[in-house]
Amino acid sequence: MATTNVQTKLKISINDKELQAHPGDTILQVAEKNEIHIPTLCHHSDLCLSGVCRVCVCEVHGERLLQTACSTPVRDGMKVYTNTTKVRKARKMIIELLVSRHFGECTTCKRNMNCELQALAEEYGLEEVRFDKPAERRYEVEDQNPVVRDNDKCILCRRCVNVCDEIQGVEAIKPMFRGSESEIACMYNLDLGEVTCVMCGQCINRCPTGALTEKDATKEVWKAIEDPTKHVIVQTAPAIRATVAELFDIAPGSRITGKLVTALRKIGFDSVLDTDFTADLTIMEEGTELLTRLKKVLVDGDKETKIPMFTSCSPGWIKFCEHYYPDLLGNLSTCKSPQQMFGALAKTYYAEQMKLDPANIVTVSVMPCTAKKFEADRPEMNDSGYKDVDYVLTNRELGRMIKQAGVNIMELDETDYDSLMARGTGAAVIFGATGGVMEAALRTAYEIITGREVPFENLNITAVRGLDGVKEAAIKLEGLVDAWKFLEGATLKIAIANGLNNARKLMDKVRAGEADYHFIEIMACPGGCLGGGGQPIPTSQAIREKRAGAIYDEDMALRVRKSHENEDVKKIYEVYLGEPLGHKSHKLLHTHYTERGRY
């Protein structure tokens, strides 16, 4: 709970220790600030207070009832006790009740060793479960979508419901039915794939147990790797390198690009390439598209062309737009996402250059995202004549493959990506953070129209950085080269949103005609891809800040930091694509969107 008046202080005590607090603070907030541990389960720092699991109950002097630390605001003179027999007994009983209805074996669960219920059972020394465990499944596992739901493992903490509502504004899942029949489900008990779920996977990242997981593609990928007739290419998304180490118990904020590349080779991929290459390519295409749109609208007076233009790299955002803002699909850049550009080129350009039969190429991508699985399966994503991206692994699935391969990633030497479609610039790396696509696009577009670098120290456009939900900036365009003189003196207005509820705010303004932006970047997930639904669990604002730090460090560490200076990108235009928005680009790198219903 936020407080506006930081001047007023309250005095409270926790376990007889006198502490200061602000009005509006919860017991839990004060405890955490003072390093007093209170166990929680339904509480998540990204979400509004919940108060449903009751694991965090504490004794408050003078109150008969125990109070939940996560949802109870402190008041002056409050005496809180977090460690009494009454409290421990209640917590242990609550954990026992949850465990007793939680169906499934830890050993066969994807969240084994990374499960909050398991951890709580350990913390409270649960020795036995005195109530009957369910003898059989009550629910079928829903496993046809990128987000897999196993309600038998659900403990009804509702974090998934809350993240889907508060952060994503989608409300695909809700509590249904009452009492012991309660379950988390979609309306009319439909499948996730039949409702407006955008497959962002934010629910997976908040789930304390294995009730929500990604659809696993590791078996298929292993099979492809072990098939000698197949040339298996792996591409790694920008946001992977800054987060993969977390899967191996390394603190957030460590980037291990070189080790990651070595690990992928050890797993057995024939070619280890980088989505950063197509991220740079996206900037060339999307930057050109933006400038073309501006010219059409501002100079030619074209009524068909829509501005502001929206970025299109985030497949969760695309699906969201298709469901909720179908009237604005014309504003979406037609550029495919870097993943799909990569897939289309791998089975055309790369096949040609490497003299491979595209039928024998298998493209695998490692993504911070579950919606990427959905995107790869979209029926139109076959412009190469084949399925452009065969398999999408989340970061977590890659972590499992690295472990299964017996590779100790942190001990590996660093190696470089293979060539041809592997070189990326700093501009590509920052795609992984909210504002990154905007910054990369500005570094290039500004230079195209002015002939000068963006006027920011070290190219760092700090105004578009940071994890704020909505960011806005304006850049005055002056001293333009002849070809773009028509924009002389204009102010380029941009906006950035991360998290779909924030996207909604911008979209509602655009729809109402109240927005005068030219270009809007939207990332479905909080913080951008670094907070994606395929990233390591747990997540929090602090973790995402550290990941962002690693991404911007990687950008600074690279020699080339502007997409248009990417030599491999220059080469592909020279030898294959021709020019941005050219005929071949149009065929391979651009796409169209589908209006989807709400129901």
Partner 1 sequence: MERTVLLSKDYKTGDALGKVLSLQPNQVIEMVKDSGLRGRGGAGFPTGLKWDLAAKASGEKKYVICNADEGEPGTFKDRVLLLEHTEKLVEGMAIAAYAIGSDEGIIYLRSEYRWMLKELQQRIESSMNVVKQKGFTFRLEVRQNAGAYICGEETALIESLEGKRGEPRNRPPYPVECGYLNCPTIVNNVETFCYIPKIVNQGPDEFKRYGTEKSKGTKLFSISGDCNKPGVYELDLGSPVSDVLKLVDAERTKAVQIGGASGVTIGEKDFDKPIAFEGFPPGGSIIIFNKSRNMRHVLKNLMEFFVDESCGQCTPCREGNLRILEAIDRLDSGEKLDEEYMETLVELANVMKVASKCGLGQTSANPFLYIYENFREDL
Footprint of partner 1 (CB under 8 A): 49, 51-55, 57, 64-66, 68, 71-73, 86, 89-90, 93-94, 97-98, 100-101, 130-132, 155-156, 158, 174-175, 177-182
Q: Strands 147-149 and 79-81: what pairing? A: unpaired
The least CB distance from residue 39 to partner 1, in Å, is: 13
The least CB distance from residue 547 to partner 1, in Å, is: 32
234 closest CA partner among 57, 402, 13? 402
Q: Is 213 helix (H, G, I), strand (E, B) or coil?
A: strand
**Cα–Cα dist 67/27, whole Å:** 9
Which residue, 128 or 413, has its beta carbon nearer to partner 1?
128
Judge if the upstream peptide bond of residue 238 is cis by omega within 30 degrees of 0: no
Could you give the angle at which helices 275-298 and 338-345 cross, rounded to 10 degrees?
Answer: 110
**Cα–Cα dist 470/454, whole Å:** 22
Which residue, 176 or 477, has its beta carbon nearer to partner 1?
176
Which residue, 57 or 313, has its beta carbon nearer to partner 1?
57
Which residue, 100 or 334, has its beta carbon nearer to partner 1?
100
Contact indicator for 530, 536 with CB cutoff of 8 Å:
no
The least CB distance from residue 188 to partner 1, in Å, is: 15
Contact indicator for 313, 338 with CB cutoff of 8 Å:
yes
The least CB distance from residue 38 to partner 1, in Å, is: 14
The least CB distance from residue 120 to partner 1, in Å, is: 12
**Cα–Cα dist 88/96, whole Å:** 12
The least CB distance from residue 156 to partner 1, in Å, is: 7
Which residue, 119 or 490, has its beta carbon nearer to partner 1?
119
Active-site residues, by number, are 286, 289, 313, 333, 372, 375, 380, 529
Sequence length of the chain is 599
The least CB distance from residue 53 to partner 1, in Å, is: 5
Which residue, 117 or 199, has its beta carbon nearer to partner 1?
117
Helix H, strand E, coil C: the string for 5-58 is CCCCCEEEEECCEEEEECCCCEHHHHHHHCCCCCCCCCCCCCCCCCCCCCCCEE
Please identify which residue in the block is written with the tokens 């039969």.
357
Strand-by-strand arrangement of the 57-60 sheet:
17-21, 10-14, 79-81, 57-60, 67-68
The least CB distance from residue 324 to partner 1, in Å, is: 20
Which residue, 56 or 242, has its beta carbon nearer to partner 1?
56
φ, ψ (nearest 5 deg) of residue 311: -65, 160
Could you give the angle at which helices 275-298 and 436-450 cross, rounded to 10 degrees?
Answer: 60
What percentage of the chain's residues is helix, strand, coil (to nearest 5)? Answer: 40, 15, 45
Please identify which residue in the block is written with the tokens 């491999």.
568
The least CB distance from residue 516 to partner 1, in Å, is: 32
**Cα–Cα dist 500/506, whole Å:** 10
Please identify which residue in the block is written with the tokens 């911008």.
506
**Cα–Cα dist 259/256, whole Å:** 5
Q: Strands 183-185 and 212-214: what pairing? A: unpaired
The least CB distance from residue 175 to partner 1, in Å, is: 6
Which residue, 64 or 303, has its beta carbon nearer to partner 1?
64
What is the distance in angstroms between the CA of the first residue and the CA of the last residue of the chain? 34
Which residue, 49 or 588, has its beta carbon nearer to partner 1?
49
**Cα–Cα dist 234/271, whole Å:** 6
**Cα–Cα dist 314/224, whole Å:** 27
**What does the DSSP 8-state code read for residue 110?**
T
Which residue, 64 or 355, has its beta carbon nearer to partner 1?
64
Contact indicator for 450, 575 with CB cutoff of 8 Å:
no
What are the tokens at 106? 């830890």
Which residue, 101 or 295, has its beta carbon nearer to partner 1?
101
What is each CA distance from 465 to 316, 439, 443, 495, 500, in whole angstroms? 21, 8, 14, 11, 18
The least CB distance from residue 95 to partner 1, in Å, is: 9
**Cα–Cα dist 82/85, whole Å:** 10
